[in-house]
Amino acid sequence: MAIDFSVVREAIPVLLEGLRVTAVVSLIGIPIGVVIGIAGAYAAQSRTLLRPVALAYVELVRNIPYLILVYLSFFGLPKLGIGASAMAVAVGCTAFYTGGYFCEILRAALRSVARGQTHAALSLGMTYWQTQRHVVAPQLFGFLIPPTTSLVIMMFKDSAIFSVMSLPEMTYQSNLLTANTFAYVEVLGTTALIYWLSSVLLAGVGRRLETVVGRRTRTPDVVPLTTLSAKGKGQLS
Amino acid sequence: MFDALGMGAMSGVIEPFLEGVVSGTATTLAASAGAFAIGLGLGIVLLLARISPFAPLRSLVVLWVSLIRGTPALIHMLIAYYMVPAMFDISISPVTAGVAALACNTSAYIVEILRGALGTISYGQRCAAYAMGMRGAQVWRHVLLPQVIYRAIPPLTSEFTILLKASSLMSIIAVPELATVARNATLQTDLPLQVFAITAAVYFVLLFCISAASRVCERRVSRMLPHGH
């Protein structure tokens, strides 16, 4: 079979227009999700009623297929009198899902920062939030970046599901093009290629961030006592 | 509160849907299990290619993994159902296309899981097996593969839950699984909230049980494996 490159040439601008919508959804939805995830992780650490709520939220996200969540929000919410556009539902679903997964990532990272460090900081007289700000948070990034990169790529890819509610993102544009031209090989091939290149790019950005943060936050395993006290004086006074 | 959601009105129309849920769940489970079995077989073959001494073969597997992991599962469904038949001028049933797409998808993740598990087996075991006079295939069959599979059980079960969630995407190509049953039921009954809530609950129970089984498995495996290697 021959590939008709004129179809590919015509498809690319349309697909890139779809990619723009995909990117907008991800750029708004994922940061909101990260904020939800941070709130969720600290809620799950607390000893209040917020803890079971946060844990239930994470289980919901992990055990319900994304497609069903999208169907439920898009077709179900209007029945509750909440009319939302496809764009709003897409951003909401992205945020809801990202939040659950980021909560898990952050919880694992918080566990990875040795408990002893928190105790040491608290015994130095730091408050809980000072400990989080000066001791825990700077070390978290190293643990957070690799899984967060995977999460961002996952949410970016899963945005293809929003085509079921006719949000004009890339997969929807691809479906329209194939319906009009029947050029399945050219259009679907190009769509997959654009998704792949975008994912490779995102993974590259993630790796780059890892090395940058790795350079900045790398600490020696054993710190000589003299430098520790000197450092401690400088930082805490 | 139930009446506010139209539960009273729905008792008549919901029964056919509930019957559909049973058959849909069966299809979901069967298709996921089938795709997982094929994906596991494919994953083992890919693992052998991934660590073969022949460099182009290794690069091909790396490319396969990158391509699959860099594109949405939904696109894999569309490629299997529309693009592959158009390329080779054949016709494929939705179920075949769906299972094939899921199997290819999961194979890329499985090969990485297996490679991780293989990395934990000390090189000395391979040397010892060769020293005992085993040939390459025998070393694989009797020494490495059983341990790889065993160590990979916990991540493989969690990969299965991901696969089961992705199987809902088969509704895009009209495989009569749970998500398709739900979608059709909403078209007939106009009760999307109730229908999708029930569907979500069914998925939740299925996945929660599998995750729980996976945690039990993980504890067993970690207890039985020697520490260190």
Query: How high is the pLDDT of residue A225?
Result: 45
CB proximity A184 to B under 8 Å: yes
The answer to whether position B59 is within a domain reads: yes
Domain spans of chain A, in order of start: 5-217
Task: Give the pLDDT score at B13.
Answer: 67
Interface A:B, Cβ pairs < 8 A? 119
Please give the pLDDT value at position B5.
52
- Residue B186, phi then psi, degrees to nearest 5: -70, -35
Q: Measured between alpha carbons, how far is B94 from B99 in angstroms, rounded to an integer?
A: 8
Question: Which two three-digit tokens encode residue A213?
Answer: 């943060």
Q: Minimum mean pLDDT among A31-45, B127-141, B170-184: which range?
A: B127-141
Which residue type sits at B18? L
pLDDT digits (tens, 9 = 90+) for B62-95: 999 999 999 999 999 999 999 999 989 899 999 9
Crossing angle of helices B178-189 and B192-224, in 10° steps, is 170
User: B152 lies in a domain?
Assistant: yes
Contacts of A164 in chain B (CB under 8 A): 172
Residue type, A4: D
Task: Look at the block and give the residue holding tokens 């790889």.
Answer: B148
Out of A64, A76, A163, closest to residue B192 by CB? A76
- What is d(CA B31, CA B160) in angstroms, rounded to the nearest whole number? 12
Evaluate whether A196 touches B67 at the Cβ level (below 8 Å): yes
Contact criterion met (CB < 8 Å) for A71 and B207? no
Query: Is the CB of B192 less than 8 angstroms away from the CB of A188?
Result: no
Q: What CATH number corresponds to the domain at position B66?
A: 1.10.3720.10
- Mean pLDDT of the residues in chain B: 88
Average pLDDT over residues B166-192: 91
Q: Which residue of B has its CA nearest to A152?
A: B70
Residue of B86, B168, B208 lying closest to A65 (CB–CB):
B168
Which tens digits make up the pLDDT trace of B3-56?
445 555 556 667 778 888 999 999 999 999 999 999 999 999 999 999 888 999
Does A1 sit within 8 Å of B89, measured CB to CB? yes
Summarised one tens digit per residue, pLDDT across range A129-170 is 888 888 888 888 888 999 999 999 999 999 999 999 999 999
Q: What are phi and psi of A183, to 5 degrees?
A: -85, 70
Examine residue B114 and state whether it is found in any structural domain, yes or no: yes
Domain assignment of residue B23, given as a range: 7-223
Q: Count up the domains in chain B and report the number.
A: 1
CA–CA distance from A31 to each of A136, B103, B114, B219 (Å)? 21, 32, 33, 35
* Domain A5-217 -> CATH class: mainly alpha
Q: How close is the nearest chain B Cα to the Cα of A121, in Å?
A: 33
B168 — contact with chain A (CB < 8 Å)? yes
Q: Quick one: A87 exposed, middle or buried, by C-beta within 10 A (0-12, 13-18, 19+)?
A: middle
Nearest CA-CA distance, residue B37 and chain A, Å = 21
- Residue ranges in chain A whose pLDDT is less than 70: 1, 114, 216-237
Mutate to test the interface with B, among A7, A59, A64, A170 (most CBs of B within 10 A): A64
Q: What is the pTM of this model?
A: 0.86
Q: Is B73 on the interface with A (CB under 8 A)?
A: yes
What lies within 8 Å, CB to CB, of B152 at 6+ separation is: B113, B114, B116, B117
- ipTM score here? 0.86
Q: What's the start-to-end Cα distance of chain B, in Å?
A: 57
**Tokens linked to A38:** 């941070």
| A96–B contact, CB cutoff 8 A | no
- Here the tokens at position A68 are 């069903």
- Is B1 inside any structural domain? no
What values do phi and psi take at B62, rounded to 5? -60, -45
* pLDDT for B214: 82
Q: Is B226 helix (H, G, I), strand (E, B) or coil?
A: coil
Nearest CA in chain A to B194: A76
Beta-carbon count within 10 A of B14 CB: 18
Identify the band that residue B122 occupies on the pLDDT scale cut at 50, 70 and 90.
Answer: confident
